[in-house]
Structure formats: C-alpha cells, structure tokens
Amino acid sequence: MTANEKAKASSTSQAPQKRPKRIFVPGGAGYVGSVLTPELLKAGYEVCVYDLFIYGGESLAQVRDHPGLRLVKGDVRDLAKVREAVRGCDAVIHLACISNDPSVELDPDLSLTINYQSFGPLVKACKEAGARRFVFASSGSVYGVSESPDVTEEHPLVPVSLYNKYKAKCEPLLLREQSPDFTTVIIRPATICGYSPRQRLDLTVNILTTHAVHAGKITVFGGTQMRPNLHMKDMVELYLRMLEYPEKLIEGRIFNAAYQNYSVAETAEVVRRVVLEEMPEKKSIEIVTTPSDDIRSYHISSEKIRRVLGFEPRFTIEDAARDLIKAFRTGLLPDPLNNIRYYNLKQMKSVKLC
C-alpha cells in the first residue's frame, strides 16, 4: 500500500462507516447471484433480488422463505419497476446482463437495450432512490487482446465482442455519477468457475470439467489464448467486502479480480489431472485441440486490489473442478451435456425476450 493509500485508510478508519442494511441485486438469480444472495442474507443484510428469472427461481429455493429476502420479477429496462424495487435499499450490486458473447450476438438489438442502454438510467434511478453505494460487475474481457505480461486497470480497453464492448461503455456512465453521497466502484472479474445452484457449464473450467467427466474427452478450441480465472467463492467474498470497505478506498475506482492466469490448454491439463485423481476409474482422458476464431487473450494483474484492499483469492481451478465433480456425483447437476438450462445460448434461444 502506498503512503497516500495508507493515509486514506487511516483517516477513513477513524470516521464511523455506516454499514448498508438493504442490498438491491439486479441479476441476483443468476450464476453468481444465486451464490451471493444466500451469503448476503447470512451476513445479516436484507436483499431485494430483481431478475427476469428466465432460468427459473429454483436456484434460490433454499432461501425463498427467508424473512430478509424480497424477490421481484422485473426487467432492468422497466425504470418504474426498478424505482419501486430499489426504494429503501442502501447499496446496489449490479449483476444483470445477457451474459457471454454468443448469447449477446444472438440478438444484438436486444442486448444493446439490456446490457447498455438500460444501465445509465438504472444507475440514476438507484442514486435518486437514496442508494449510497453501487458495485458494478464489469468484465476482464474488456481488455480483449493483449500481449502485456500483466494487464493492469490502466491498460487500454480493446473489446472484441459486443458483450465486452457494452461492459466497457457502461463503466464511464457509472463513474460519472460518483459523488460524496454515492460511492461507485467497478470490478473487472476474470472468468468465474465452480458450482452454483444456477449452474453454467459454458465457461472454460466448467465446460472442460463436464466433458472430462461425462464424455471422457476434452476438446480445446485454440489453446494458446490466456484466460484468467476466479473461483466462485472468491468472487462472492469480494462482493461482500465491497459493502464493507471504507468509501475513500473504493470511490470511483476500478479493480481487476483474477487469480490463476492460464492458457486454455494449460487449464485443460489441470482439469484432466484433477478428474483422474478424483475418478481413477476413468484411467485416461483424451485432450483434442481444434482451431478457434476466439482471439481473446489477456493476462490480468490483480496487484492493485491486493495492494489497496488486501484482497487475495484463496480458491483454485482445482477446487472448482472438484466442486463440480462432487455436484455431478450427488445428482445436483442432472444431464449436464444436454440440459439447456446450463448453457446460456441454448436457454436464450428458448426464451422469447423483446
């Protein structure tokens, strides 16, 4: 921590910090939200989950009757409903979006309205309703392609798809609203991995583990692309901390959040090793490499978040693969190769949004 940052932390620690009580979570029934929401409730927060629930509401079944939880089915483009839902909330953790490149490309006009055009008005609505802190889940993919050995937050943004383009364009809209009464902070997470009640099996570590376990073969598309990873448990822990950090440490700031920076081929080797350790009866798992037109490749530095906030991830790709293997074995993820609810693109095709 620099001398200036230490001074900020010291001066802030002497002033009482008002802890948020009610948290507004757009997208709170999604992949990350379905793990985050129960943890927020466990930590004593009241939570309003605002979601379209296009993947169903089963992922929050364990907390559905919790007295501190309010579930609102709503579209982030419906400002009247957003204003009503956010009333009384002290902080916002914004997770809502059409997620991943193929799903966004499926209907670019729809994605434009949900992932970008709705964002600025939603931020203003939250601010006007009295929220004092807004945490935005951007994406490490905003860096696009970089040969830098460590991509810091100051690196130019070179988005190569609509998904990360819209994430990048949302960031200045939020920072523009920063004020003494409205603390804004942006997280650029790496690719999340691990188990969730609203499971996604279309993310690097998760899909590699699924195919290793259920097909006995891993297909690697390309392989040389660098992909930073972050375990679900670390992602959720970071969001919880973002509600507690003093304003002076996070206001108007951007933080990368990643752990293991591996190439896709290296990740496949790690997954194969873990699956064979956990399931020796498989004896061997083939890795097949095929060409890919996915050029995204970047090695994220998380030095800033470690230095400024003291945040260091604790869970690994190996942990994520073991979590998924356990979920497969215990029947938490039935029919993983064919059930469309685990795959955003397939589910989006089956849902009529407009």
Tens-digit pLDDT profile for residues 189-229: 999 999 999 999 999 999 999 999 999 999 998 888 888 99
Extract the runs of DSSP E, i.e. beta strands, from the chain: 22-26, 46-51, 69-73, 91-94, 133-137, 183-189, 191-193, 217-221, 226-231, 253-257, 261-263, 286-290
CB 285 within 8 A of CB 164: no
pLDDT cut 70: percent of the chain above it: 95
Query: Structural domain boundaries of the chain?
Result: 3-193+231-259+300-317
Distance of CA 2 to the CA centre of its chain: 28
Q: Which pLDDT value is given to residue 3?
A: 46
CB 109 within 8 A of CB 67: no
pLDDT tens digits, one per residue of 218-272:
999 888 888 899 999 999 999 999 999 999 999 999 999 999 999 999 999 999 9
Q: Which pLDDT value is given to residue 292?
A: 84
Q: In which residue are the tokens 């916002």 written?
A: 92
For the beta sheet containing 261-263, the strands, ordered from the edge strand earlier in sequence to the opposite edge, are 191-193, 226-231, 261-263
pLDDT above 90 (res 319): yes
d(CA 174, CA 120): 7
Which of 89, 42, 88, 82 has the alpha carbon at shortest distance from 66?
A: 42
pLDDT tens digits, one per residue of 60-110:
999 999 999 999 999 999 999 999 999 999 999 999 999 988 899 999 999
User: What mean pLDDT is reported for the chain?
Assistant: 93
Cα–Cα distances (Å) from 303 to 46, 140, 158, 297, 311, in that order, read: 32, 14, 21, 19, 9
DSSP helix/strand/coil, 145: strand
Q: Model-level pTM? A: 0.93
**277-291: b (≥16 Cβ within 10 Å) or e:** ebeeeeeebebeeee
Report which of residues 8 and 352 the model is more confident about.
352
β-pair type (183-189, 253-257):
parallel
- CATH fold of 3-193+231-259+300-317 reads Rossmann fold (3.40.50)
DSSP state of 201: -
Which of 186, 65, 73, 69 has the alpha carbon at shortest distance from 123?
A: 186
Find the range with the poorest average confidence among 159-163, 194-198, 327-331.
159-163
Query: At residue 25, what is the residue type?
Result: V
Cα–Cα distances (Å) from 166 to 52, 169, 227, 229, 255, in that order, read: 20, 5, 20, 21, 18
Q: Which pLDDT value is given to residue 6?
A: 46
Q: Which pLDDT value is given to residue 14?
A: 41
Q: Which pLDDT value is given to residue 102?
A: 87
